[in-house]
Amino acid sequence: MSDENRGIMTIRYVNGTEQKFEYARFKDDSSILSAASRIQDMLKANQILFELEDRFLIIPLHNVLSIEVSPPPVKFPQNTVKDVRLIA
């Protein structure tokens, strides 16, 4: 997988630990819109589901402090505050 097709998701947990996951990024607009829909579904379900090489991982969102996605997606959910600068 080339660098432009990879994304990194960093999950920080309420206990202070973090995990990083590499995933295949979406290539076309229909996939991007589908991704936004899947993110909304994940938040409604209160869990993140990952298919890993050797196992299936379920992370309950009540254990999650924050989630960071890099590089950022091309399209964002409708309720996203845009043009924000982190200052602290």
- Among the residues of the chain, which ranges form H helices? 29-45
Cis amide linkage into residue 71, ω under 30° from 0:
yes
For residue 12, which amino acid is it?
Answer: R
Q: How confident is the model at residue 6 (pLDDT cuts 50, 70, 90)?
A: confident
CATH 1.25.40 correct for 3-70: no
7-39: pLDDT as tens digits:
898 999 999 999 999 988 766 555 555 666 777
52-85: pLDDT as tens digits:
999 999 999 999 999 898 888 777 777 888 889 9
Domain range list for the chain: 3-70
Q: Which secondary structure element, helix H or strand E, spans residue 40, and what is its range?
A: helix 29-45
